[in-house]
Structure 1
Amino acid sequence: MSSVSTAEPGTGTGDHVAALESVIDTVIAPNAAEVDRGGTYPRAGIEALGKSGLLALTSAPEVGGPGAGLGAAAHVVERLAGVCGSTAMVVLMHYAATSVIEAHGPEDLRRAIAGGGHLTTLAFSEAGSRSHFWAPVGTATAEGGMVRLRAQKSWVTAAGEADTYVWSSRPLDGPGAMTLWTVPSNAAGLTVQGPFDGLGLRGNASNPIAAEDVQIPVSAMLGGDGSGMDIALHTILPTFLVLNAAFSVGVMESLTDLALQHLTRTKLTHLGEILADQPVARADFARLRIRADEAKAFLHDTLGALQAERADAALRVLQVKAVAAEAASEVADGVMRLCGGSAFRKELGVERRFRDALAARVMAPTTEALRDFVARACLGRPLLDGARDGEGA
């Protein structure tokens, strides 16, 4: 799991850091509450990120991109997640899909992504296998020089908004569990079923997509027939898991900042104190701050392990999403308790981030699945053989 490009853990890359903060301040932050309230896709923010070069961040210099690594991408996702979870999830999926397109995709598609105006995403989870992303039931059938796809995808972030889907299916003829394809979002036979109306991440357009006799060329295959699982494990999954952890860290940073503001600004007039003067409140805040810092340190260690190609890098990758997702849920719940009734009011921003924080633990691979993967890796057992046991829906 060390084939992904990395950068200094937790950092951006010079001008891109400034560009990110500018887009956050001028476009993403002002629209975040309405994106959540209306469940509207954050189109303005995504377009601004594209124009600023941030959607092209991980594209290679040979196709016109800056060639930034996973550390820079993690920084972007972390900062976005604390402001607008929906925007962060769209960008996360774009970077994950870009990782496989950069490794196996055609030059023209890579150049389109490097240009900043082309959004891509993953289309893995299916109605027939749910969060078992490694077991597609959708089919691919060769007919002359074309391939016919049939599937019921259950969750596709930016469904109907992305330009290209990285699509999984059963192999054509070869061995293995999965083959990957690039599928244009405007291909005939694709139907987006929505709108998405979820508890959190309400604007990420995570809708089902049905494919009925969708025809694509054989050349749309990413890697060899049946090689999709190997590609997913060694290229996509490290990017996806690390960026999911960065998402959770970003939400925790925002939640603890809001809690700090609440404790230092809220007055107990009858006592002549602020909440921060209360020992119990300080102890509760310290516990949450420590938990958030633990997850952030684990994320940075994972990025460092990948960069240094440490022997434990693959294990850290399997652990990092579970560590951060569970921490985010605990911190979100703790901040809600600490801020009391004020946290239930939308204007404080805590309840929105509380809802966004809950998504990571149930997003495939779920925390339960990752714990099984970690145990199997430590015990020297196959990672996926029997991994369905005990996983959530």
Structure 2
Amino acid sequence: MTSTVDNAQSTPDVADTLGAVIDEVIRPQAASVDREGVFPRSGVDALGAAGLLGLASSTEVGGAGHGMRTVAEVVERLAAECGSTAMVVLMHYAATAVIEAHGPREVRAAIATGGHLTTLAFSEYGSRSHFWSPTGTATATDEDSVRLDARKSWVTSAGEATSYVWSSLPLSRDAGPMTLWLVPADSAGLTVTGSFDGLGLRGNGSRPMTADGLRIPSTAMMAADGAGLDTALGAVLPWFLVLNAAFCLGLADSAVAEAGRHLTATTLTHTGAALRDAPVTRRDLARLMIRTHALRAFLGDTLTALETGRDDAMLRVLQVKALAGETVAEVTDGAMQLCGGSAFRKELGLERRFRDSRAARVMAPTTDALYDFVGRVATGLPLLDEANR
């Protein structure tokens, strides 16, 4: 697992570099990415060229060596500008966590230098959001190769990534519940089998993929056969859940800021008063701000818990996406109501953030699943039933 503690170049350098990419590429294209539903290739390439796709990669292979806190700040700032780009990068960092721990050095180095985009391929038609229960198979064909067959239902950056961290049933049925593989994008038998025309995150390329007799070398296995669930829970889940919370925070914070600007700049001609002059309007804005600031504080505490190895770190990790998903849904909804009919115009940017925020509740682990996980941990039960492991 990549480190949760920052130990490399200074955060101000990252902030300045990211700011330049946002100003020059990502912000100007955010509306068209959403409107046309196109993958934000130019933004992703610019982030790679700036070294930001290698932010969580080890310095040993040429990466920046940053931990989760700085990476979360990057995802937050990207989400404030373009949710689709932020989700692509979020999934890249989550997959990088596995590759850093178990992937080949040449792929790690390619990610570190910004020339390799990776992503997770966990969700399947057969098990839907229960990522911990794969139905796709892996079959040894000889001593050196493996055949993969699966129908993946949602793969961010499908057809755009350079590699996929792929889950399957283990080779040996008594080895464990899941095995992980590093699947190159150019593998024969790997196809994108559908399009994506979503409510939000319209440019994140989240499309179904099929492996039909896909052949990979046996060395593509990451960790031991059957150990994929432990790897997913230990290496992937903290990064995925925390970065999802940062994604939600970026959307919520930008929605509140946009609402504040609108209320300040908009004047009623017949009274001469700005919208902000109404006490009820200020009260409602304050409530949205407080909810957003509370999420920021909780996310910060979660990162501190991970960085210091606190006993409640895993509980915080499970809680933070559930809190974030509900917070961003309520805050963006509140901002839409606060700004009235103006919020329905695309140029204000609120309706895009509102739509993008809906994904957090249903992206696995869903909010309901996380509530169950938190309740299980709080009452001394294992995270998953043995039947699901």
The whole-number CA distance in structure 2 between the counterparts of 1:269 and 1:279 is: 18
- Asked whether the equivalents of residues 2 and 57 of structure 2 are also in contact (C-alpha less than 8 Å), the reply is no
Distance apart, 1:259 and its partner CA: 0.3
SS in 2 for 1:352: helix
- Asked whether the equivalents of residues 191 and 210 of structure 1 are also in contact (C-alpha less than 8 Å), the reply is yes
Distance apart, 1:77 and its partner CA: 0.3
Q: Aligned letter for 1:356? A: D
The whole-number CA distance in structure 1 between the counterparts of 2:387 and 2:5 is: 31
SS in 2 for 1:168: strand
2:327: which partner in 1? Answer: 327
1:391: which partner in 2? Answer: none
2:370: which partner in 1? Answer: 370
1:162: which partner in 2? Answer: 161
Q: Aligned letter for 1:64? A: G
Q: Aligned letter for 1:19? A: T
- Asked whether the equivalents of residues 372 and 387 of structure 1 are also in contact (C-alpha less than 8 Å), the reply is no
Deviates more, 1:232-241 or 1:170-179: 170-179
Write out aligned runs for 1:109-128 (5 A): 109-128=107-126
Distance apart, 1:12 and its partner CA: 7.0
SS in 1 for 2:331: helix
Q: Aligned letter for 1:35? A: V
- Asked whether the equivalents of residues 2 and 58 of structure 2 are also in contact (C-alpha less than 8 Å), the reply is no
The whole-number CA distance in structure 1 between the counterparts of 2:194 and 2:287 is: 40
Q: Aligned letter for 1:38? A: E
The whole-number CA distance in structure 1 between the counterparts of 2:194 and 2:138 is: 24
1:90: which partner in 2? Answer: 88
Per-residue Cα deviation, 1:71-108 (whole angstroms, up to 9, x for no partner):
11101100000100000000000000000000111111
The whole-number CA distance in structure 2 between the counterparts of 1:211 and 1:353 is: 34
Distance apart, 1:295 and its partner CA: 0.7
The whole-number CA distance in structure 2 between the counterparts of 1:17 and 1:387 is: 45
2:255: which partner in 1? Answer: 255
The whole-number CA distance in structure 2 between the counterparts of 1:256 and 1:373 is: 30
The whole-number CA distance in structure 2 between the counterparts of 1:230 and 1:14 is: 35
1:23: which partner in 2? Answer: 21
Per-residue Cα deviation, 1:20-72 (whole angstroms, up to 9, x for no partner):
00000000000000000000000000000000000000110111111000111
1:146: which partner in 2? Answer: 145
SS in 2 for 1:267: coil
Q: Aligned letter for 1:160? A: G
The whole-number CA distance in structure 1 between the counterparts of 2:273 and 2:340 is: 17
The whole-number CA distance in structure 2 between the counterparts of 1:172 and 1:370 is: 29
- Asked whether the equivalents of residues 4 and 238 of structure 1 are also in contact (C-alpha less than 8 Å), the reply is no
Per-residue Cα deviation, 1:277-327 (whole angstroms, up to 9, x for no partner):
000100000000000111111101000000011111010000000001100
Per-residue Cα deviation, 1:239-287 (whole angstroms, up to 9, x for no partner):
0000000000000011001000011000012222101100010000000
Q: Aligned to 1:52, which of 44, 50, 61?
A: 50
The whole-number CA distance in structure 2 between the counterparts of 1:7 and 1:272 is: 52
SS in 2 for 1:273: coil
Write out aligned runs for 1:62-211 (5 A): 62-144=60-142, 145-173=144-172, 174-211=174-211
Distance apart, 1:4 and its partner CA: 4.9
Alignment coverage as a number of residue pairs: 385
RMSD across aligned positions (CA): 1.4
Per-residue Cα deviation, 1:310-360 (whole angstroms, up to 9, x for no partner):
111010000000001100000011000000000000010000000001111
The whole-number CA distance in structure 1 between the counterparts of 2:382 and 2:13 is: 43
2:30: which partner in 1? Answer: 32
Residue 343 (structure 1) aligned with residue 346 (structure 2) = no
Per-residue Cα deviation, 1:100-123 (whole angstroms, up to 9, x for no partner):
000111111101111111000000
1:235: which partner in 2? Answer: 235
Rate the CA distance shift 1:364–1:387 in 2: closer, same or farther, 3 A: farther
SS in 2 for 1:150: strand
The whole-number CA distance in structure 2 between the counterparts of 1:387 and 1:253 is: 40
Distance apart, 1:7 and its partner CA: 3.5
The whole-number CA distance in structure 2 between the counterparts of 1:347 and 1:314 is: 40
The whole-number CA distance in structure 1 between the counterparts of 2:265 and 2:73 is: 29
Structure 2, unaligned stretches of length 5 or more?
none
SS in 1 for 2:181: strand
Deviates more, 1:266-275 or 1:203-212: 266-275
TM-score, normalising length from structure 1?
Answer: 0.96
The whole-number CA distance in structure 2 between the counterparts of 1:90 and 1:111 is: 19
- Asked whether the equivalents of residues 42 and 87 of structure 1 are also in contact (C-alpha less than 8 Å), the reply is yes
Deviates more, 1:170-179 or 1:24-33: 170-179
Distance apart, 1:195 and its partner CA: 2.1
Deviates more, 1:166-175 or 1:28-37: 166-175
1:217: which partner in 2? Answer: 217
Structure 1, unaligned stretches of length 5 or more?
389-393
- Asked whether the equivalents of residues 325 and 357 of structure 2 are also in contact (C-alpha less than 8 Å), the reply is yes
Rate the CA distance shift 1:7–1:269 in 2: closer, same or farther, 3 A: farther
Following superposition, which runs of at least 4 residues in structure 1 exceed 3 angstroms of deviation? none
Percent of residue pairs identical: 63
Write out aligned runs for 1:342-361 (5 A): 342-361=342-361
TM-score, normalising length from structure 2?
Answer: 0.97
The whole-number CA distance in structure 1 between the counterparts of 2:355 and 2:85 is: 15
The whole-number CA distance in structure 1 between the counterparts of 2:91 and 2:127 is: 20
